[in-house]
Amino acid sequence: MITRIAGMCLAVALVGATAAQPACAAAATYDLLVFSKTAGFRHDSIPAGIQAIKDLGAANGFTVTATEDAAAFTPVNLAQYEAVVFLSTTGDVLNADQQTAFESYIRAGHGYVGVHAAADTEYDWPFYGELVGAWFSSHPLIQKATIRVEDQTHPATSHLPAAWVRTDEWYNFKTNVRATARVLATLDESTYRGGTMGADHPHVWCKTVGRGRSFYTGSGHTKESYVDPVFRAHLLGAIRYAAGAVTADCSPASGARRVEAESYSSQSGTRVVGDRGAHGGVRVGFIENGDWLGFAAVPVDGKTGFTARVGSGGAGGTIQVRSGSPSGPLLGSVNVPNTGGYGAFVEVSTPLSAGTGPLFLVFTGTGGGLFDIDDFALTGGRG
């Protein structure tokens, strides 16, 4: 069943927030689709979440359409909406045609908000992994924890205190998104039990995907979240950003600088390939077993993580991260799967052990045309 409401623009005070602020701007109304289909675990907070977003729409001048019908994901229907919220979706919720329609919709300049279990969705769809930023790995029991807000310039976090204490279910993720997204808030694992990501545990982030906008918050498991005015204001800021009603800088922060793969200083066996979908318009391809790239201006000193944007229409393979030379110390390695095409990019990441000297990427696998690399980032350390 699909329901639709419209509302007026009102001003509200955020109880418990740092200050009162207007709930909306004078911009024209926009339309939002809330999608809450589940093919796995179903959160009993979904109805409360839908109601909260409807209330926000009524108070802030945007319309809300709520559905669990994946048939809503057609080019014609999606064109009605400025943004789509995935509200604690789980599992495989869209078929191939619906996935194609949604990817085109986002890349054309629309928005996405992922709430909580949206990260537990569509594990076999590479584009969705790029969109949500990181997939769910595990969680401990519901408990109180402290969220450290590190960016208060985004409309979803501008009202929050630097230390936001709340009770929820805290997700661990398969990868760290810092290299590809603007991390807005992290979890302080010293304030609760069951965290597995260490000192840098992203919890809220935003990013751009093509011309589109993406926002994710790990909060929202409990029913109580959706009656909390501070959390509601958090959702409102996310929705306004995704819908394009306000702007925000969602590029990766300093310390996660993207490096174009074609900026190598030395190499063996690879070729540069033109690609409009690649950052910078080209990617490094024709990669075979034993090929490598060297980056004299990219030191590994102090770096703790490696993330690369890759695509494969072949067998895939492995990227080895080494220091000093192609045969230098191995700091980490990450597998690259077949992504459905050499220009169908996904992010792959691995932690790194300590190393010194310039970066070398060494490629292994069976056969030719293993995968292509668009760009990459080293995380941790300075610069």
- Render pLDDT for 350-373 as a digit per residue (tens, 0 to 9): 888 999 999 999 999 998 899 999
Output the pLDDT for position 10.
Answer: 35
Q: Where are the domains of the chain?
A: 3-242, 258-379
CATH of 3-242, one of 3.40.50.1010, 3.40.50.880, 3.20.20.100, 3.30.930.10: 3.40.50.880
Output the pLDDT for position 160.
Answer: 94
In the predicted model, is pLDDT for residue 282 greater than 60? yes
- Render pLDDT for 60-116 as a digit per residue (tens, 0 to 9): 999 999 999 999 999 999 999 999 999 999 999 999 999 999 999 999 999 999 999
Phi-psi region of 21 (alpha: psi -120 to 50; beta: other; left: phi over 0): beta
pTM value is 0.66
Kindly report the CATH number that applies to the domain delimited by 258-379. Answer: 2.60.120.260
